[in-house]
Structure 1
Amino acid sequence: MSWVILTGRQSDLDQVATPHKIITNRDYLSHPTLFRNQRPKIINLSNSYAYQSRGYYASLLASSRGHRVIPTVETMIDLSERKLYEAALPELEQALNKCRKELGGTLPRTVTVFFGIGPSKAWDRFARLLFDWFRAPALEVIINDDQQNSIKKIGFLPLGRMDADQKARFITCLGRYTAREWRDSKARTPARYTFATLIDPQEELPPSSVASLKYWSRIAEKMGVEVEPISRKDLARLANYDALFIRETTSISNHTYRFARRAQQEGMPVIDDPLSMIRCTNKVYLNELMTATKVPVPPTVMIAGPGDLQAAAQTLGFPLVLKIPDGSFSRGVKKASNLAELTELATRWLEKSDLLIAQKFVPTDFDWRIGVLGGRPLFAVHYLMAKKHWQIVNHDRRGRPDQGGIRTVSLRDAPAIVVDTAVKAASCIGDGLYGVDLKETDDGVYVIEVNDNPNLDHGCEDTGEKDEVWIRLTQWFIDRLERVGR
């Protein structure tokens, strides 16, 4: 995918300053077929972004032509009046105060941020956050002396108002922003799309290993897709990509949700999407949803306070399983063997959560995990219980969490009732990628939970269906990109 830079005048930016194509916004507006059947990424450096100016129309029509552009017209409108960007100020002020401490207590009257990069390392946090809120090539922040309300104004800084030092720094930042990572120059098929994969290499139990993602990238490459890893620091660069695959453990309260929301706002296909996160990360919601849609789940009692504990004991018997709403990887899931254990555990957890759920204990040697993608089964595996434990992960042992083994099963060999129940459960959530955990017993099949961020590792979940798992994953994104003409 090529970069194209729009300027107000041809002389605004020397062609030797960047390897990317430079044209005027007038030429871009006058030749709607100039990049037909291409998908350039547009950097609009017009001298004015005022409503109905050439700069404004360049970004507006870039969107209609299926081109990616910064700044968007939404950003132009947001920065046209202070009252339209006031919602961003509290968070920006907080970051600015940290800059003040690192700079010895004083701030300059103005600071320029180019592509989310500040004038020095001390400005990194503020600059990234500013670019997260307002993705524009060059921004100027006017600062008051008042430490409580420091930001007087946020505005665009056109090339024509930059001095020589600012322009040199801008060109350096432009080069950094347009630089690519993990590009394989020997790709057999030219990349039509670039997918961002959000990872944390330090995560103890990631949903996919880096090695597995590199394996996927080799398969995706053959389908014309380039896969690039990004980290939590790269939110400002997310719009450079065509799709997002989140491979960190998701949570509504951390950066993974913010990435999903931003991808959705950009019109990018994303796994996991924000709504799936909201639905899957809360076991209280999942239980009610499954019950309402007649998906079988173990007998369950909602606990809103100590007064519900006796009813749970009488209804479910002991042992029973107590769960906090948003646990993951078997965290926040404990077994209570009697009323005293239940009372002690519930009392402690109710200090952090207003609701808990208690479920009938259903012992099995393994849990079924059925992967579902786009409403169709993707893979089937058995997750075996951790050694001498009743869960697939034992967090109570010292050192690293102890995980049970995995036994692969092809979809054709998995019981139809297990697969069909998993697909029905996943369809209640959405059409993304889900891992449905089920228990198969003599009394029937029960859905334990639906995971929006299921494990997917080469040599594990893909063993039964082989590379078809990764091919279908790649195609899921491509289909949605082509559906909207991106």
Structure 2
Amino acid sequence: MTQLILVVDELSAWEPYFPSDNLVDFQTYLKQSTGKDAPRTRVINLCRTDKYLSNGYYCSLLAEARGQHVIPSVATLNSLRNKALFAFGFDGVGEALQRLAESGNEPVRELKVKSYFGQCALPGLLPLCRELFERLPSPIMELSFKLRSRWELAGLSTLSPKELKGEEEDQFAQALETYSRIIWRKPKSVKRCRYDLAMLVNPDESLPPSDPKALKRFIKAGERAGVNVEIITRKDYQRLAEYDGLFIRETTAIDHHTFRFAQKAEHEGLVVMDSPTSILRCANKVFLAESFTKHGVPTPKTLMVSPRQKDAADWLERELGYPLVLKIPDGAFSRGVYKVQDRAQLQDTLAKLRKASALVLAQEYFFTEFDWRIGILNHQPIFACKYFMVKGHWQIYRHNEEKEADSGAFVTLPTYEVPKAVLNAALKSVKPIGDGLYGVDIKEGKGRVAVIEVNDNPNIDHGVEDVFLKDKLYDIVIEDFVRRFEAA
């Protein structure tokens, strides 16, 4: 059972609002004792937090020391004091700010807007407020904007309910009610389960790691193992502490909410698959290339080059010849990968990539009719597929201008039928990355085996990766979560 505590500097600060059994003042919260059998507790710190070593600062510090989930956290308070972090522009909000600036008698060059749990009264600024609340969760924030060459977020500060007036009080109360109703509710289960597992998905993703039929099978596998598997989306960020684990079934990236979900879940003590460390290491092909070299993993000949380097074309031409392959470090599903046939195409592609990344990877072109995908969980192979190239194309995916993709045929095999050299290379490649769930892409041909990359959240789709093991594949994944829950 989770309990909620609202902490204010003094109870008088709550006079404009409805009474609440969850409300305590700072002195009362300070004297509360906690033991190892204390219920899971969440704290909304509504004290003034704008000063270092204030009541509000100590409230968050005490909550974290007591093992309680608190907003704002101490890390958030420290970040909010670093004003330099916010001197940047935001796409999509300039027009909304300009309309607000011109709504009065005279145009203004400075504006302040209040955000309550990521909500605000201006629809045009809602995406920004939500994004900031995800990154820096704090009950009440005041956003300061300045018009320079464009509108910029010049600063953020926290406020207490006592500093609000009139309509602001109503907006805050409504936002708190909405936030509390969503965040503190416990997910319902048909039967009593040992553990609760959140499965993060994006219903609008065109190439998700698992299709809806596979997601249903993960849920069924959870039922068989006594695990309540609940699908969540990006909007459920603040609910993470309700669960025992997080299973990411959405394409991950570093500068993306999936990475923030992984970080938050790990901070809350959840079992996370895949972990922030795995995402960091797998998402960047530069890291993988260096890791493969250090640990003796067989790969195509690979070079790292700056696309701004004057002699880059000469060097790559001399070392790799044609055709060669250029890759941006953080591409996924064959995006950001270019096959280069000659000098003119090489120079054009390097010019194209200058704005995308300070470094690009160049590899020898190693043609095969298919790529192996070896699924590995906790250093054990759990599935094996051959993904064939799209007809008339050199990759297993072909993207078009409508942001859709064609994919080639596949064959799913039992892992014991995979050539030993392929399995060994796959296992060797993930050893320095972690013990999570990975998909290793490998080329095999001409007497060679070459690891292309390691994916941190590999595809598990119904009718593809599960063809051989069927429901057992989903059981294996969920049972590994149970093992990790029990170990924790």
**1:292 pairs with 2:299:** no
- The verdict on how the C-alpha distance between 1:77 and 1:328 changes in structure 2, with shifts beyond 3 A counting, is closer
2:88 alignment partner, SS class = helix
2:345 alignment partner, SS class = helix
User: What is aligned with 2:362?
Assistant: 357
Q: Aligned partners of 2:93, 2:378: CA distance in 1, in Å?
A: 43
* Cα displacement string for residues 371-409 of structure 1 (whole angstroms, at most 9, x for unaligned residues): 122333232222233234443223479994221223222
User: What is aligned with 2:82?
Assistant: 85
Q: CA deviation at 1:412?
A: 3.9
Give yes or no for contact 1:384–1:406 (8 Å, CA) kept in 2.
Answer: yes
User: What is aligned with 2:69?
Assistant: 68
**1:197 pairs with 2:203:** no
Q: Aligned partners of 1:215, 1:69: CA distance in 2, in Å?
A: 34
**1:384 pairs with 2:388:** yes
1:420 alignment partner, SS class = helix
* Cα displacement string for residues 269-310 of structure 1 (whole angstroms, at most 9, x for unaligned residues): 544445444443444543343233111223446666221344
TM-score (normalised: structure 1): 0.78
Q: CA deviation at 1:168?
A: 2.9
* Cα displacement string for residues 340-365 of structure 1 (whole angstroms, at most 9, x for unaligned residues): x332331221111554413242423x
**1:117 pairs with 2:119:** yes
- Which of these residues, 130, 133, 136, is aligned with residue 131 of structure 1? 133
Correspondence 1:186-225 to 2 at 5 A: 186-190=189-193, 192-193=195-196, 195=198, 197-199=200-202, 201-220=203-222, 223-225=226-228
Q: CA deviation at 1:115?
A: 0.6
Q: Which amino acid aligns with 2:364?
A: Q
- Which of these residues, 447, 451, 471, is aligned with residue 447 of structure 1? 451
Q: Aligned partners of 2:221, 2:118: CA distance in 1, in Å?
A: 32
Give yes or no for contact 1:369–1:381 (8 Å, CA) kept in 2.
Answer: yes
The answer for unaligned runs of 5 or more in structure 2 is 307-311
- The verdict on how the C-alpha distance between 1:380 and 1:151 changes in structure 2, with shifts beyond 3 A counting, is closer
Q: CA deviation at 1:118?
A: 0.9
User: What is aligned with 1:100?
Assistant: 97
- The verdict on how the C-alpha distance between 1:141 and 1:240 changes in structure 2, with shifts beyond 3 A counting, is farther
TM-score (normalised: structure 2): 0.78
Q: CA deviation at 1:369?
A: 0.9
Give yes or no for contact 1:7–1:47 (8 Å, CA) kept in 2.
Answer: no
- The verdict on how the C-alpha distance between 1:265 and 1:94 changes in structure 2, with shifts beyond 3 A counting, is farther
The answer for unaligned runs of 5 or more in structure 1 is none
- The verdict on how the C-alpha distance between 1:392 and 1:153 changes in structure 2, with shifts beyond 3 A counting, is closer
* Cα displacement string for residues 406-455 of structure 1 (whole angstroms, at most 9, x for unaligned residues): 32223344344332321110113233322101233361432122122321
Correspondence 1:398-413 to 2 at 5 A: 400-413=404-417
- Which of these residues, 378, 383, 388, is aligned with residue 374 of structure 1? 378
**1:436 pairs with 2:440:** yes
Q: Aligned partners of 2:200, 2:143: CA distance in 1, in Å?
A: 32
Q: CA deviation at 1:149?
A: 8.5
Give yes or no for contact 1:435–1:454 (8 Å, CA) kept in 2.
Answer: yes
- Which of these residues, 151, 155, 158, is aligned with residue 157 of structure 2? 155
Deviates more, 1:375-384 or 1:18-27: 18-27
User: What is aligned with 1:323?
Assistant: 326
Q: Aligned partners of 1:382, 1:92: CA distance in 2, in Å?
A: 45
- The verdict on how the C-alpha distance between 1:286 and 1:72 changes in structure 2, with shifts beyond 3 A counting, is closer
- The verdict on how the C-alpha distance between 1:186 and 1:360 changes in structure 2, with shifts beyond 3 A counting, is closer
User: Identity over the aligned pairs, expressed in percent?
Assistant: 34
Q: Aligned partners of 1:145, 1:308: CA distance in 2, in Å?
A: 46
Q: Aligned partners of 1:136, 1:437: CA distance in 2, in Å?
A: 42
Q: CA deviation at 1:117?
A: 0.7
2:97 alignment partner, SS class = helix
Q: CA deviation at 1:370?
A: 1.0
1:447 alignment partner, SS class = strand
* Cα displacement string for residues 88-126 of structure 1 (whole angstroms, at most 9, x for unaligned residues): 321377776443124253579653221111123133133
Q: Aligned partners of 2:194, 2:45: CA distance in 1, in Å?
A: 24
Correspondence 1:259-278 to 2 at 5 A: 259-260=261-262, 269-278=271-280
Give yes or no for contact 1:6–1:25 (8 Å, CA) kept in 2.
Answer: no
Q: Aligned partners of 2:37, 2:260: CA distance in 1, in Å?
A: 33
* Cα displacement string for residues 303-340 of structure 1 (whole angstroms, at most 9, x for unaligned residues): 662213442456xxx6x44132333323344555xxxx
1:135 alignment partner, SS class = coil
* Cα displacement string for residues 125-146 of structure 1 (whole angstroms, at most 9, x for unaligned residues): 3322442443111223467798
- Which of these residues, 313, 332, 338, is aligned with residue 306 of structure 1? 313
Give the aligned length: 469
CA RMSD in angstroms, aligned pairs only: 4.1
Q: Aligned partners of 1:19, 1:415: CA distance in 2, in Å?
A: 65
Q: Which amino acid aligns with 2:415?
A: L
Q: Aligned partners of 1:153, 1:286: CA distance in 2, in Å?
A: 37
